[in-house]
Amino acid sequence: MKNLKNSFLSVYKLYRKYKRRLSPSVQDEIRQALSTAQESLLKEDSLQSQRDVGLLEQLAKRYLQKNSLDRVRDWIGALIFALVVAVLVRQMWFEFYEIPTGSMRPTFAEQDRLVVSKDQFGLNIPLTAKHFYFDPSLVQRGGVIVFTGKDMDIPDVNTRYFYLFPGKKQYIKRMIGKPGDTLYFYGGRIYGIDKNGVDISHELQPALLDKIDHVPFISFEGKPLFPSAPVQGVFSSVILYQMNEPVAKLSLSPSHQVEGSMLPKTHVKTYGDLWGFHNYAMARILSKKDYFATLHGADVEELSPSEYYLELTHNPSLATAKLQRDLYGRFRPMLGLSRSYIPLDVSLLEKLFNNLYTARFTVDSSGFVQRYGYKKHTYPQSFLPKLPGVPAGTYEFYYGKAYQILWQGIAKELPSSHPIYQFTPDTLYTLFNLGIEFDNRFLPMSKYPLLQPSRYAFFREGSLYVMGTPLFDQGSPILAGFLEQELLKAKKSLPHTPYTPFIDYGVPSKETILAQGITVPEKSYLVLGDNYAMSADSREFGFVPEGNLRGVPEFIFWPPGERFGMPKQEPYPFLTLPTVIVWVLAAGIITGYVVVQRRRYRLPIHIS
């Protein structure tokens, strides 16, 4: 009887929709058939109902068939309705999200699929960077957030939802700083004081994020801003931006001397004091040939002979800025940089190899390597490194373990017998120097010596860390000799070319944090990627406006493996006011629709 009733109601709906196009006699015939069928259905006479509904269906086939225009109109209407509902659900309730890059590894990797809640701390206005309601107290430091790039300084931000609705791409990062927080970087950690003077460092470095480090810059110069045209071939004035904020100015004096000054807003006297820059160095490995080609003889004699050296570039300085050509051939003032060197024996090279991490990369049948996600032949083959003996496929290293990436992002840990684990100093030289960019232009002696690979080093409580591991522990004789040499170089340096040593300045005091840290503006947030070597985050595009915050990831449902389940963050509250409002609204709309439909088509119905 239920199927017969549904067939009866289907014909009744068609009759209501198309009766105006029927002649009066046909209308009377169908009304009579509807009345007869309804009467038998109400009497629950199964045999008679089958006959009456069957006759009704025959009339529907004869008079109520949809024409081509009807089908197109119904299809368009259904599509528009589905799209509107989908947009509202995705913008205000939840959506599925696929990770596009490695900026949040190891928390999320490329091709991970997530469920993202859009109602954790606010009610979003669809397709805008605004909220109907927002509660800033629900935003958690150390939690992961999703935000829109609308009205932010992010390249290639435009997209279309369902290929129709114009919108902005969404990004996923870790929430670090809330409005009024002052933050300072040391030892891969972040220390902070909130707007009320309370130390929030414990919130910024919880135990579950112990293996995730943070670095305060992507490059020493950040984003330099130039005049529109050079004067006599020289771009004589340059403004340097860090965190997308103007921090320093380099200019050429009338006597053609480079002068540098910090901008007042930074509240620091030297460039290296910017929220802990002097605690970090950019690192690369030099071969003996690279090393001798790089240094003057007097410098070479200060170190023990070795086949390989760790070069540390550090302490960017306005005082030692000079006029030179940058990567694009522009003649302009550039920051002065200090460099230090440590000999690396085989045991240290092996230690680096055993803690190696890289970007995800593909190896072709000829052994050429390209970073994953880049289109084939994006770069000339001469730019691509080679890994001889490694089978074609997609790979990555993390914490010294190698993985092969299979279908849909499934990662398979490789056995120690795999050729990719074959250690040689030359293999490490390639994977350390090129393991993020996979571009030969980042090699030390290429035609682009100013290019620095995205490898970083820092001190933490007396030990020197590289790639997240203490390469030299506190008390190491090699490290002690290095620190002694650094202090000696600083002592010997001349007043007009001061040398700032790369040493451990220790955990910052509250006074240091407040004096040299970066303060997050009102209604803005500072976000960082977990993979500092591969993340375009607040260090590049600056603070995220409050209205841009959209939601939080709740669950990783693909691929299976160690990341499956809840993401690495302190759990958000299960029930918040925005969550309750959205769920109550959704339940109310669904319940209301069902009730209306049942009432509207509950027998008996008035047939006119």
Lookup: tokens for 518: 């970066």
Answer with the one of 476, 492, 508 that is the final residue of a domain: 492
| Residue 338 within any structural domain of the chain | yes
pLDDT given for residue 319 in this prediction: 92
Instruction: Identify whether 161 is part of a domain.
Output: no
Please report whether residue 151 resides in a domain: no
Contact 395, 404 (CB under 8 A): yes
Has residue 36 been placed in a domain?
A: yes
Residue 343 located in a structural domain: yes
Structure tokens at 414: 């490789």
Give me the residue label for tokens 């160690």. Answer: 562
Domain range for 39: 2-64
Amino acid 252 reads L
Give the pLDDT band (50/70/90) at residue 94: very high
Looking at residue 296, its pLDDT comes to 54
Provide the pLDDT for residue 421. Answer: 96
Per-residue pLDDT at 447: 82
Q: What is the mean pLDDT of residues 353-382?
A: 90
Q: pLDDT tier at 326 (50, 70, 90 boundaries)? A: confident
Segment among 282-286, 304-308, 455-459, 494-498 with least mean pLDDT: 494-498
299-308 per-position pLDDT tens digit: 555 778 899 9
What digits encode the pLDDT tens for the residues 150-172? 999 999 999 887 677 788 899 99
CB 252 within 8 A of CB 281: no
* Residues shown for the chain: 608
List C-alpha distances in Å: 110 to 102, 220, 396, 409.
6, 27, 11, 7
Indicate if the pLDDT at residue 429 is higher than 90.
yes
For the ranges 108-117, 278-287, 320-329, the lowest mean pLDDT is seen at 320-329
Choose one of 429, 460, 492: the last residue of a domain: 492
Check residues 543 and 167 and name the one with the higher pLDDT.
Answer: 543
Return the HEC string of 539-594. Answer: HHHCCEEHHHEEEEEEEEEECCCCCCECCCCCCCCCCCHHHHHHHHHHHHHHHHHH
Number of domains composing the chain: 2
pLDDT band at 298 (very low <50, low <70, confident <90, very high): very low
At residue 297, does pLDDT exceed 70?
no
- At residue 2 the predicted structure's pLDDT band, cuts being 50, 70 and 90, is confident
| CA–CA separation, 435 and 429 (whole Å) | 9
Asked if residue 523 belongs to a domain, the reply is no
176 Cβ contact partners less than 8 Å away, ≥ 6 residues apart: 141, 142, 183, 190, 204, 214, 525, 526, 527, 528, 538
Buried b (16+ CB within 10 A) or exposed e, 473-500: eeebebbeebbebbeebeeeeeeeeebb
pLDDT digits (tens, 9 = 90+) for 125-142: 998 999 999 999 999 999
Domain termination residue (choose one: 39, 64, 89): 64
Residue 273, in any domain of the structure: yes
Question: DSSP for 87-146?
Answer: HHHHHHTEEEEE--SSTTTTTS-TT-EEEEES-SSEEEPTTSS-EEEE-GGG--TT-EEE
Are 360 and 396 in contact, with CB atoms under 8 Å apart? yes
Q: Which residue has the higher pLDDT, 543 or 62?
A: 543
Mean pLDDT, all residues of the chain: 91
Taking the C-alpha atoms of 300, 303, 305 and 309 in order, what is their torsion angle to the nearest 10 degrees? -90
Which DSSP state fits 521? P
User: Residue range 186-200: average pLDDT?
Assistant: 97
Is 532's pLDDT higher than 70?
yes
- Only one residue has tokens 């038998």, namely 40
Count of beta carbons in the 10 Å neighbourhood of residue 97 = 18
Q: pLDDT above 90 covers what percent of the chain?
A: 66
pLDDT recorded at residue 604: 83
The token pair at 194 is: 């909130």
Query: Is residue 172 in some structural domain?
Result: no
